[in-house]
Structure 1
């Protein structure tokens, strides 16, 4: 990972009047201020780190508080924005803000095919793939070039994954735009020693950022009703499968990176909601993280012998394509073929690493079929467990 250490002294539009002042208190950016002319007189809005919550001020500005940056104040609702991952991108789409998204950190892991099932919902993938922050190594040059009003990403992630310094974060905050975000897809990184957020807690923060409280509440209501309906139909706990969640992109996999389902990261939300147990619970095997890169093979899997195996990194394949490639390979492998999950054909795609509220509805529906086909139908059928039109209506403002 390389940090772009270039210096930028040229003024941006935030040095003038097109975007309001931002002052960050606490976290990485304590004491950092951007002075902006809001009328004929310059005004600086000062905030400090406080408990989470959106606050409106007398002058019409508002603030959003989210770890690790603390409270961030906005003069107006951000128009241009970028997310690091597909989960936060999906949140923006859910809130009706797709048109303002200028780029993303990992477009290859932002699965937008689900929007094809939602009338009137789409994103401009060409723009996102053109402005690939990950491919650019999170270069500061691209931050300057796109000149976004807000960066929906965790600045500590930039420091720990992309070799940024705190000064780099402060520079982009003051000369381009602030950061609002928190790495929430997993909870196993030692450097993340501040508050985590559940999916809908983070979604609520992004709704505060874009001032879309009503859309958020409509999604929350839909989600809660959907999950309650699913959970009411689940078998008793002793009849639910134990699950091994792993990562490997090959169609002929022989070694895997393990995940731990006891990790409360948002990438495992559907499995938690569906009440499964972690096959690695008593194994002593750690899940993948920034520092833990251990791998397991079929011999290790056989010692655990899970009821269900979930394999990530195959989201471009359909359920049928996955079974015809990955599962077929396992069935013909001398060790993998001995696994109970393989014998019973219970090896499935493991879902996205990053998921937002729209994607979570689709992934939960899929997971319910994978885990409980007798109740919710086979994974290869087209039965729908939630109302697509209702989702599209919320995104499009018809609620």
Structure 2
């Protein structure tokens, strides 16, 4: 397993190129098609879920090279689907985001404070700051930012961001938006540079599908690092990621000895959202590398819910609770609710004390490192060391010899001390 998805991501010294058509040029120079799309998206709080109702828009793709080029003394360009080739006159200083995998990339590159918007900023500020205590000298404050899930043009003009780390295809699917609207923002405010539908390798809206490419979390991070001219930071973190994946792969037990696993988000024990731990896309970047068996039917769709009877039918060996590390959720109460329930108490994971907190699926590279470490210990304590009993508070402070990656090295890279 070379990376978090299908072995596709770059190693610490590789920069991959992709052939084929990408949607290019239109978000900077304009392109045909201005039919408004109508769409809606939701993201479910503690469970960190996202679903999209895709909408139609028009426009034809044109091919673009997958390279970073400089033109003149200061300007340079970076290519990623669905934008195509995007030109920058200088390194962006202010950053708009919607989803936290993009905000997390800015954070990893030492630009967490440059973020001026994101979905549910107070919620994710609190969640991210469960991990920053383990990064010496790294601080983060996203409280009070513009909440950008249902973004409007007026706010984008007010924010006047140098770059919009968001997928224009996903924005074009929102109510009141179309291709011409995202082009207007790119031309009058700042370019778009993001990819959202790689989360589950799902289909983008009509009019954006041809040539749309999917990226792993770390492939996309490499491209965002190019936008900020932060190759060394990217390479340093990618090296940590490569080494961590290699250590995990080396110590994994045979498949026959691996537990069955359910990953869920839940507002309460009667309404449970299951997520496939082996699904394609970067949302499973912290679970797929372990090659475990998902306790639920593979045909289960994102957004489906089950009750505890359905959970008992799956009866996982290990239960991972998304959002369980958020300050609003006390894992002790979650475990107690399951133990006190006539059905929940019969779950194998409950009986064996294997109900564990997780963070977020839209995780960004730094959280991905922490979540790979915690998941390794939660699934295979005999191989990677015991995961401490966690009820609330920040990420546990593991002794240095029990860490699966160098926490100090990551802190130094984020803080610019490397």
Contact residue 310 and residue 347 of structure 1 kept, 8 A: yes
Q: Which residue of 1 aligns with 2:85?
A: 71
Q: Which residue of 2 aligns with 1:226?
A: 244
Contact residue 115 and residue 121 of structure 1 kept, 8 A: yes
- TM-score w.r.t. structure 1 length? 0.81
- For 1:259-318, what per-residue CA distance to the aligned partner results, in whole angstroms no more than 9, with x for missing partners? 1233222221111122222222xx364221xxxx33111222222222112222333149
- TM-score w.r.t. structure 2 length? 0.77
Q: Does 1:299 align with 2:318?
A: no
Greater mean alpha carbon deviation, residues 88-97 or residues 254-263: 254-263
* Alpha-carbon distance, 1:177 to partner: 0.8
1:204-243 matches, within 5 Å, as 204-243=222-261
Q: Does 1:176 align with 2:192?
A: no
Contact residue 28 and residue 186 of structure 2 kept, 8 A: no
Q: Which residue of 2 aligns with 1:39?
A: none
Q: Which residue of 2 aligns with 1:119?
A: 136
Larger Rg: 1
What's the C-alpha RMSD, in Å, of the aligned pairs? 2.4
| Distance in 1 between residues matched to 2:204 and 2:263, nearest whole Å | 21
* Alpha-carbon distance, 1:163 to partner: 4.4
- For 1:191-248, what per-residue CA distance to the aligned partner results, in whole angstroms no more than 9, with x for missing partners? 4842111011000010111011111111111111122123222222211112112221
Choose between structure 1 and 2 for higher RCO, CA contacts under 8 A separated by at least 6 residues: 2
| Distance in 2 between residues matched to 1:211 and 1:389, nearest whole Å | 23
Q: Does 1:266 align with 2:282?
A: yes
Number of aligned residue pairs: give it: 348
* Alpha-carbon distance, 1:105 to partner: 2.5
- The residue matched to 1:52 in structure 2 has which SS? coil
| Distance in 1 between residues matched to 2:367 and 2:67, nearest whole Å | 25
Relative distance call for 1:53 and 1:263 in structure 2 (3 A) is: farther
Greater mean alpha carbon deviation, residues 304-313 or residues 219-228: 304-313
Relative distance call for 1:284 and 1:359 in structure 2 (3 A) is: closer
Q: Which residue of 1 aligns with 2:266?
A: 248
Q: Which runs of no fewer than 5 residues in structure 1 stay unpaired?
A: 1-23, 34-47
Q: Which residue of 1 aligns with 2:59?
A: none
Contact residue 25 and residue 32 of structure 1 kept, 8 A: no
| Distance in 2 between residues matched to 1:25 and 1:303, nearest whole Å | 44
- The residue matched to 1:144 in structure 2 has which SS? helix
Relative distance call for 1:274 and 1:159 in structure 2 (3 A) is: same
Relative distance call for 1:162 and 1:242 in structure 2 (3 A) is: farther
